[in-house]
Structure 1
């Protein structure tokens, strides 16, 4: 059994090693330069669309507003990766890992835009009248490769049931509740199962309504909490930024409990954790984007790419800077405990810090379960039709109920492998359909420019 586990760890390290990371970041670099760094040029426009009442009351085809679709995608991406993942990256690669996380996010925004554009362009209507889309649809109907589409759906379903969507999140919630409130695992697991059942049985409308309220609220509370630490440690901020930049290119010397890190380790840990956190290129967010009420695939692509900005550039940055300014990255603590210590030191309170981190973890993990439940449902619909949805939901809820008692490292390694594997068909699809993405983008902005010119001419 130990040999089997070690073999899986070797496979996992290979899949999440340089080949996949180069493919993920490389795809983002290609679209960034092919579309002339549009994700930075058009970020203000994209942010305006996110918060525009007019855009979110669109009469276009779809099941939920663009904002609700974005929140559903964010519910799955903003999770333990933003708290535990950032701490792990900095523990392994030093403060410089945060810089490479930023760089991966900038290129990741281009990838997220491309995959969500295709999701809307190739979406379909199922037998229930709901919009369905995602990599499996643009792989089949855009690229014309049905077996690759089924492969993606199978891998993504595995991630929903045995990976990001269940066990790591459930364990994070159970452990946090036990740590801060001394709540027994059976009680936390029972409450969690009931809540997940109530929300997910209502479908995308129910999930989106919860995500629309919980995700922005928790993100704001967490960011404000981090900002409070940074304000109280303001004098350390300039040095922290300098350390992040310099160690990204020079490595980090061993200090305190930190064992030192090379430039390559900073790059690998920063990029890997960044991609794991925002999921750009994995193909998950397009399944939520396809449900948006919109009349333009480019508009939804722009709205969706802000998810990577919010997840990594804002939330992960706040966590990372909190860890650096408080100096806990040099200590012996790791993961959630490291972030908890940072809050305790930064806020000068041993009580408030653990509660803030634990509550943040619980809510982020809960919404991740909801988001991935929906992604799994989309994959089941594609593979087996609507008849497979109810059995899937029953199995998913059962997995949530049993997850509170599971500590199976081997299952988590398998899940991590499948998580990496689902990115491969998706990235193949993005590269194969790159001309469609470029044409749709140029057409949209050309029409927009024509409209603006007409408006100026009419005023004259």
Structure 2
């Protein structure tokens, strides 16, 4: 029975994250870019000015909402995760250095996709029975499209609930326990064959922490993410920039390998990775998996923002994709490629390849810091996806489902800490991709609304905002 499930999931997964799906995701991003006259490029300086400016402006949000800064931190909490460390390493190992180039291309178009998602989420959001602002793909489908499209909203929410337990929780907890185990074993605190008790304890502690944060409501989620996300991002960026500076002589050769490898992978990998399409597929899929542009999930957090200007909040979508992929994913790639660590091209690789880049530059002592970074990345993802799952459950089963969902979601941390995930990760990745289908259809159909809102914004107060 298990082998049948694995076979079915593998077939669906290969399609969802295969060439047709990549074309759809890239196609919608290109279509939106053309319709908005490449807003993400034209207005990029304005986007950075608006987003950074609002981040530095401290203010309290009204009840049931987040400040714009808390909203972007909550979205980044879910976005900036282990995919930035392990996902980039896997893309380079399977697709060669050229995969990084295609990651950049997917981010460039993804900026406009995520801008559109956030703008629509704020424009079509609602206030629930608890007085909280709620929105996201399910709400812009329900409130923006005709009734015969509403089944897409329920489909998105169902896939969302199924995804969060795996992608958002169990696999992230497993990453935390693995990182801590590695550090403890490295310093001879525990034996390699005696981690089960420590993992159980960690699972229980994480379950309690997650429950305390999520059950505290939208305000507490925002208060945690606005402190955790800037710290973890800055911490990781400083470590990574240090590797690049120390190995600065390798930088020109690395960028040359990225550009050459994008169109002729074999010339860089020695023929091990020789497929142009494999390089492109891995770069695009891992880029999307990291920045979530096209999945629609990040817009759920932005819909909670205390703002009356959908387009202004939409610029945070551009900022998020830029920060996640262009900055953090690129730095991870440079850590691996500049450090000169051996890469087994053609074979699967994960966080260990990125960690090798750090340790080969700084020494083994840095392993404890990389473990801390991975724990922060994974924990922030758990919190962000907890909010997404709660909103999807609420849409399907009303407000009464929120607290039971959050309790169940928290308890899954214990499972993630103590069992071999294997198939669960693969199934979660499949559902993650399936979420993109109803969302991309909706964003495509509502592109005219995005164009109208952008024109109105820059014709009015946006000119002087």
Q: TM-score, structure 1 length as denominator?
A: 0.93
- Pair 1:98 & 2:112 matched: no
Q: Which residue of 1 aligns with 2:276?
A: 263
Q: Which residue of 1 aligns with 2:447?
A: 434
- The counterpart of 2:71, out of the listed 50, 69, 76, is 69
Distance 1:254 1:244 in 2: 9
Q: Which residue of 2 aligns with 1:215?
A: 229
- Pair 1:174 & 2:188 matched: no
Match of 1:165, SS? helix
- The counterpart of 1:242, out of the listed 249, 252, 256, is 256
Distance 1:438 1:55 in 2: 28
Distance 1:451 1:95 in 2: 42
Q: Which residue of 2 aligns with 1:384?
A: 397
- The counterpart of 1:340, out of the listed 333, 347, 355, is 355
Q: 1:60 to 1:188 in 2, by over 3 A?
A: closer
Alpha-carbon contact 2:96-2:269 (below 8 Å) kept: no
Q: Which residue of 1 aligns with 2:21?
A: 20
Alpha-carbon contact 1:105-1:313 (below 8 Å) kept: yes
Alpha-carbon contact 2:207-2:412 (below 8 Å) kept: no
CA RMSD, Structure 1 to Structure 2 (Å): 1.9
- Pair 1:149 & 2:162 matched: no
* Residues 246-282 of structure 1, C-alpha deviations (whole Å, 9 max, x = no match): 11111134758x9333221110000000000000010
Q: 1:318 to 1:431 in 2, by over 3 A?
A: same
Alpha-carbon contact 2:260-2:268 (below 8 Å) kept: no
Q: Which residue of 2 aligns with 1:417?
A: 430
Aligned residues: 448
Q: Which residue of 1 aligns with 2:86?
A: 84
Q: Which residue of 2 aligns with 1:9?
A: 10
Q: Which moved more, 1:300-309 or 1:365-374?
A: 300-309
Match of 1:178, SS? helix
Q: 1:451 to 1:2 in 2, by over 3 A?
A: closer
Alpha-carbon contact 2:117-2:137 (below 8 Å) kept: yes
How far off its partner does 1:380 sit? 1.5
Distance 1:172 1:263 in 2: 31
Distance 2:41 2:463 in 1: 22
Alpha-carbon contact 1:287-1:375 (below 8 Å) kept: yes
Q: Which residue of 1 aligns with 2:199?
A: 185
Alpha-carbon contact 2:241-2:331 (below 8 Å) kept: yes
Distance 2:415 2:135 in 1: 30
Match of 1:166, SS? helix
Where structure 2 has 5 or more consecutive residues not aligned to the other structure, the ranges are 191-197
Alpha-carbon contact 1:229-1:346 (below 8 Å) kept: yes
How far off its partner does 1:61 sit? 9.2
Distance 1:421 1:219 in 2: 28
How far off its partner does 1:233 sit? 0.3
Q: Which residue of 2 aligns with 1:327?
A: 340
Alpha-carbon contact 1:11-1:417 (below 8 Å) kept: yes
Q: Which moved more, 1:310-319 or 1:416-425?
A: 416-425
Q: Which residue of 2 aligns with 1:43?
A: 44
Q: Which residue of 2 aligns with 1:457?
A: none
Q: Which residue of 1 aligns with 2:195?
A: none
* Residues 196-232 of structure 1, C-alpha deviations (whole Å, 9 max, x = no match): 1111111111111111011011100100100000000
- Pair 1:126 & 2:141 matched: no
Where structure 1 has 5 or more consecutive residues not aligned to the other structure, the ranges are 453-460
Alpha-carbon contact 2:393-2:402 (below 8 Å) kept: yes
How far off its partner does 1:34 sit? 1.6
Q: TM-score, structure 2 length as denominator?
A: 0.92
Alpha-carbon contact 1:123-1:134 (below 8 Å) kept: yes
Q: 1:259 to 1:29 in 2, by over 3 A?
A: same
Q: Which residue of 1 aligns with 2:164?
A: 160
- The counterpart of 2:296, out of the listed 283, 286, 291, is 283
Q: Which residue of 2 aligns with 1:456?
A: none
Distance 1:135 1:449 in 2: 25
Distance 1:48 1:254 in 2: 38
Alpha-carbon contact 1:32-1:110 (below 8 Å) kept: yes
Q: 1:55 to 1:254 in 2, by over 3 A?
A: closer
How far off its partner does 1:64 sit? 0.9
